[in-house]
């Protein structure tokens, strides 16, 4: 299908982009890589009459470490995340997830900021950013504010961004040395959306799991933390039986959707299996 008619502007700076959003109010939408918005517009599920294309604003594409945090510009592409040496070393959860998003064309265009702001419950980055306790720096007409990941993802396609705010940067505390992570995704075919996926990060010091974070994709209308698993494992030695017991709690309190890909019970089963596999992978060398 063909999208409904819309006007289009390409601001050169963030303040200009915010001003356009203020001017056009609810009618306007921000366009970054376009990989989520354009298909919705073609289906007329989204019909903005005004598009603010932030794709050409300079200095929003970067990955750098400063003050014990890793800062990622909102326009950084999935491809750049997948191949970043800094992230491979410090935040392998993001490189693991990025490598599994769509196909190379999607990874070359799609941006992490767009993926986060789009808040698709089956998207790959939201669960990772939630597990990593990311912080979102957003710019609006009155200046900048920070939103914690646990408050950022609200519902299906709904973040806590105001209509006239733009995501500028994502910040993540650099994990302690010895942290290991993986993103395990179950989908019907490669390149498909996840039916269920697990973002897992853990650190084993001595013979004890000192840190563990698990984010789940596809288990509700937004990404969620498997806090039952985290509690069950923290302070444990990470033996097989402990990993299995902890993973059994992956679906606690979840409300997965029923759709063509599977029933809620099937998704709960997948969450438990994938969580166990992920935990086995990232604690294996001990």
Residue-wise pLDDT for 258-280, tens only, equals 887 889 999 999 999 999 999 99
pLDDT, position 38: 85
pLDDT, position 190: 65
CATH architecture of 63-172: 2-Layer Sandwich (3.30)
Choice among 103-107, 152-156, 235-239 with the minimum mean pLDDT: 103-107
pLDDT, position 207: 85
Q: What pTM was estimated for this model as a whole?
A: 0.94
Looking at the predicted structure, is the pLDDT value of residue 155 above 90?
Answer: yes
Q: How far apart are CA 187 and CA 194, in angstroms?
A: 5
Please write the tens of the pLDDT for every residue from 80-108. 999 999 999 999 999 999 999 988 888 98
* Top-tier CATH class for 181-283: alpha beta
pLDDT, position 92: 96
Handedness of CA 144, 133, 32, 60 (dihedral sign): positive
CATH 3.30.750.24, domain 7-53, yes or no? no
Q: How far apart are CA 241 and CA 230, in angstroms?
A: 15
Give the end-to-end CA distance of the chain in Å, rounded to a whole number: 54
Quick one: tokens of 143?
A: 């200046």
Residues 197/182, Cβ–Cβ less than 8 Å: no
Residue 223 has φ and ψ, to the nearest 5°, of -65, 150
More confident of the two residues 190 and 231: 231
CA angle 279, 71, 98 (to 5 degrees): 45
pLDDT, position 123: 92
Q: Which residues contact 50 (CB under 8 A, 6 or more apart)?
A: 6, 7, 8, 9, 20, 24, 27, 28, 29
Spell out the domain ranges in the chain. Answer: 7-53, 63-172, 181-283
Q: How far apart are CA 64 and CA 83, in angstroms?
A: 14
pLDDT, position 285: 63
């Amino acid at each position: 299908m063909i999208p409904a008619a819309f006007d289009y502007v390409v601001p050169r700076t963030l303040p200009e982009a915010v001003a356009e959003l203020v001017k056009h109010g609810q009618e306007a939408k921000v366009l970054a890589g376009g990989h989520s918005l354009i298909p919705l517009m073609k289906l007329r599920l989204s019909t903005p009459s005004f598009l603010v294309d932030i794709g050409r604003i300079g200095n929003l594409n970067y990955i750098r470490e400063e003050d014990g945090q890793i800062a990622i510009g909102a326009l950084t592409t999935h491809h750049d995340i997948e191949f970043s040496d800094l992230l491979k070393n410090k935040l392998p959860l993001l490189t693991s997830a990025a490598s599994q998003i769509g196909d190379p064309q999607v990874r070359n265009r799609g941006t992490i900021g767009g993926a986060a702001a789009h808040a698709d419950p089956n998207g790959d980055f939201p669960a990772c950013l939630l597990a990593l306790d990311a912080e979102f720096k957003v710019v609006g007409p009155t200046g900048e504010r920070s939103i914690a990941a646990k408050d950022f993802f609200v519902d299906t396609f709904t973040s806590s961004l105001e209509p006239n705010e733009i995501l500028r940067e994502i910040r993540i505390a650099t994990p302690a040395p010895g942290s290991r992570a993986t993103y395990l995704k179950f989908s019907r075919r490669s390149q498909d959306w996840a039916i269920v996926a697990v973002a897992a990060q853990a650190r084993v010091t001595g013979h004890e799991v000192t840190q563990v974070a698990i984010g789940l994709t596809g288990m509700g209308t937004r990404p969620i933390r498997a806090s039952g698993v985290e509690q069950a494992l923290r302070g444990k030695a990470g033996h097989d039986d402990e990993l299995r017991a902890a993973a059994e709690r992956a679906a606690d309190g979840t409300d997965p959707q029923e759709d063509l890909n599977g029933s809620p019970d099937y998704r709960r089963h997948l969450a438990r299996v994938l969580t166990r596999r992920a935990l086995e992978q990232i604690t294996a060398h001990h």
